[in-house]
Amino acid sequence: MTKLDSTQAVIGVVGAGAMGAGIAQIAATSGRKVLIFDQREGAAETARATMLKRMQDRLAKGKTTQDAVDTLARNVHPAASLNDMAPCALVVEAIIEDLDAKRAVFSQLVDIVAADCVLASNTSSLPIGAIAKGLAQPERIAGLHFFNPVPVMKLVEVIRTPDTSDAVIAALMALSRDMGRTPVEVRDTPGFLVNFGGRAYTTEGLALVQECVASPAQIDAVMRDCCGFRMGPFELMDLTGVDVNYPVTAFVHQSHYSDPRLRSTPLHRYMLDVGQLGRKTQRGFFDYRDGATKPEAKGPDAGQPPKAVSVLEPSERLRTLLADLGVSVLDADDGASPILAAPTGEDCAALGARTGADHRRLVALDLAFDVSKRITLMTAPGNDGAILAQVAALFTPSRAVTAIADSPGFIAQRICAMVANLGCEMAQMGLAQPDDIDTAMRLGLNYPKGPLELTDAMGPDTVFGIMTQLQNLTGDDRYRPSQWLRRRAQLGLSALTR
Ligand SMILES: NC(=O)c1ccc[n+]([C@@H]2O[C@H](COP(=O)([O-])OP(=O)(O)OC[C@H]3O[C@@H](n4cnc5c(N)ncnc54)[C@H](O)[C@@H]3O)[C@@H](O)[C@H]2O)c1
């Protein structure tokens, strides 16, 4: 049993850095008394002053009330030593990311707090079970993983070890809600949910660059304009910093026994080695130095639009698009005009080989997502540049055009299928409930849809088809479909079906 459900419960926070100060702030503004301790002299007082300044700034902008500022000021108390945590119903540890240091804090706390005090760690990568190892009453130990900046980010992962009791999980979920967060229960596995699930988006972007399919600027533009992501994978990595996202990627990859689904590319490591970490160093995948301009997602040269085109394996979407553009479609290939196709998961080389179409005049269009702002055109090796220019000219009056090298699944199908497939794998692993996986990925990473919603929007059979094609054409098990996905695709079920 825990006392946590009462607003009289005292909450302890150990570590008054960026995360500890944020956790203390939201706990205190929820009306609870908070004791905050840091081993660094004066750090807890500084953290309190920072929290108050942050809230006062919000008050000045009319984003909070005087009452909330007063509640914070009244409730946050710097603690002089760990011994002061004795009255706490919950202590959240947010010290440096070091297993021995965290274990030392937990073993001291066990002797200080009451037997029913819940002990939680905000670690982003260490197993909660390893922190709890050997401690008495492991059922009261759990993870409480907040995201930075804590007062802004609504998600909290409540991490359950095999020993954590149901009552402790329920109490942490209820407390998180009371602090205005959206909690999601997650199994204690490397990377938990968000840091694991977030690997597909960035690493598949890097894989496309590694294969010289497209540039970072082109990939970012497609993911924003066609798929509704707020940021492309490269601007996202530049924002979080390669010094943060590379180690997390390497850690998650190693922890899963080098599963190729989670593999990054040498360029990622190279950026770290040369110190081009992103915005914080003014250079990353893009240049942020004074006077530098962000490279445009440059389109192909456009020529004169073709008089007519032929269509390979016509789809409803392709017919509609060509009808909207008023393009004349030939009954059969005339041996000279562009041949258009809208493949799913196949590249132009495979499509040409399978159908016998002239690969030099073959131009593939990615119609799997929104093409109202931007369209992706793909060609095979040895393509006729003049044909590509003709096809580009059909679109340039109405939308941006991205021309890429041959790639099974273009840019968007590939990245989205990888995000969807990893989401399905998380469901297969029982990391969290399917709808919680979606909630966590939307709130933790700002994705427009959770990965299982994305699977349903694309169609589980379509995602399965893209992954199967990618696996067959590349021979790379990075693209093996999740069994969760295969079963739902084969049975015609939603990806959210348990
Ligand atoms: N920063 C993030 O984006 C983020 C996000 C989620 C989780 N986390 C995790 O939260 C924890 C804290 O991260 P942070 O970014 O706030 O770090 P930080 O470096 O800003 O703060 C850590 C604080 O802990 C104090 N400290 C170190 N050892 C201590 C001890 N034995 N007892 C008391 N205080 C001690 C330090 O003096 C420092 O003030 C880490 O485990 C980190 O992995 C960080």
Rounded to the nearest angstrom, the distance between the alpha carbon of 16 and the centre of ligand 1 is: 7
| Ligand 1 binding pocket mutation candidate from 46, 48, 124 (most atoms within 8 A of CB) | 124
Rounded to the nearest angstrom, the distance between the alpha carbon of 35 and the centre of ligand 1 is: 16
Residue 244 CB contacts under 8 Å (≥ 6 apart), including other chains:
none
Sheet with 400-404: strands ordered across:
328-329, 308-311, 339-341, 362-365, 374-379, 400-404
Identify the residues whose C-beta falls under 6 Å from ligand 1.
Answer: 14-20, 38-40, 43, 94-97, 101, 105, 122-124, 146-148
- Looking at ligand 1, which residue's alpha carbon is closest to its atom 31? 101
Which atom of ligand 1 approaches the CA of 98 most closely? Answer: 41
Rounded to the nearest angstrom, the distance between the alpha carbon of 96 and the centre of ligand 1 is: 4
Burial (CB < 10 A; 0-12, 13-18, 19+), residue 98, is exposed
Tokens describing residue 275 = 């110190």
The predicted structure's pLDDT at residue 234: 98
Which atom of ligand 1 approaches the CA of 123 most closely? Answer: 41
- Looking at ligand 1, which residue's alpha carbon is closest to its atom 20? 17
Rounded to the nearest angstrom, the distance between the alpha carbon of 284 and the centre of ligand 1 is: 25
Rounded to the nearest angstrom, the distance between the alpha carbon of 267 and the centre of ligand 1 is: 29
**Reduced to 3 states, what is the DSSP secondary structure of residue 165?**
coil
Q: What is the CA radius of gyration of the chain?
A: 26
Residue 397 CB contacts under 8 Å (≥ 6 apart), including other chains:
none
Contact 22, 147 (CB under 8 A): no
Which atom of ligand 1 approaches the CA of 16 most closely? Answer: 39
The predicted structure's pLDDT at residue 2: 54
The predicted structure's pLDDT at residue 1: 43
Rounded to the nearest angstrom, the distance between the alpha carbon of 302 and the centre of ligand 1 is: 53
Active-site positions read: 124, 145, 157, 195
The predicted structure's pLDDT at residue 301: 86
Say which residue the tokens 């850690």 belong to.
251
Burial (CB < 10 A; 0-12, 13-18, 19+), residue 146, is buried
Model confidence, pTM: 0.95
For residue range 266-293, list pLDDT tens digits in order: 999 999 999 999 999 999 999 999 999 8
Average pLDDT per run of 10 along the chain, which is 498 residues long?
78 97 97 97 97 96 95 98 98 97 98 97 96 96 97 97 98 97 97 97 98 98 98 97 96 97 98 98 97 84 93 93 95 97 98 97 98 98 96 95 98 98 98 98 97 98 98 98 98 98
Which atom of ligand 1 approaches the CA of 104 most closely? Answer: 31
Euclidean distance between CA atoms 335 and 426, whole angstroms: 48
* Phi, psi dihedrals of residue 429, rounded to the nearest 5°: -75, -5
- What is the amino acid identity at position 312? L
- What is the amino acid identity at position 477? D
Contact 258, 248 (CB under 8 A): no
- Looking at ligand 1, which residue's alpha carbon is closest to its atom 7? 124
Tokens describing residue 242 = 């390669």
Rounded to the nearest angstrom, the distance between the alpha carbon of 123 and the centre of ligand 1 is: 8
- Looking at ligand 1, which residue's alpha carbon is closest to its atom 3? 148
The predicted structure's pLDDT at residue 426: 98
H or E element in which residue 160 lies: strand 155-160
H or E element in which residue 12 lies: strand 11-14
**Reduced to 3 states, what is the DSSP secondary structure of residue 90?**
strand
Euclidean distance between CA atoms 438 and 87, whole angstroms: 37
The predicted structure's pLDDT at residue 295: 82
Tokens describing residue 445 = 């990473």
Tokens describing residue 84 = 């002061």
| Ligand 1 binding pocket mutation candidate from 35, 38, 152, 248 (most atoms within 8 A of CB) | 38
Which atom of ligand 1 approaches the CA of 146 most closely? Answer: 6
Euclidean distance between CA atoms 250 and 272, whole angstroms: 12
The predicted structure's pLDDT at residue 5: 78
For residue range 30-69, list pLDDT tens digits in order: 999 999 999 999 999 999 999 999 999 999 999 999 999 9
Polymer length in residues for the chain:
498
Extended beta strands in 325-437, E state = 328-329, 339-341, 362-365, 374-379, 400-404
The predicted structure's pLDDT at residue 7: 82
* Phi, psi dihedrals of residue 158, rounded to the nearest 5°: -95, 110
- Looking at ligand 1, which residue's alpha carbon is closest to its atom 9? 123
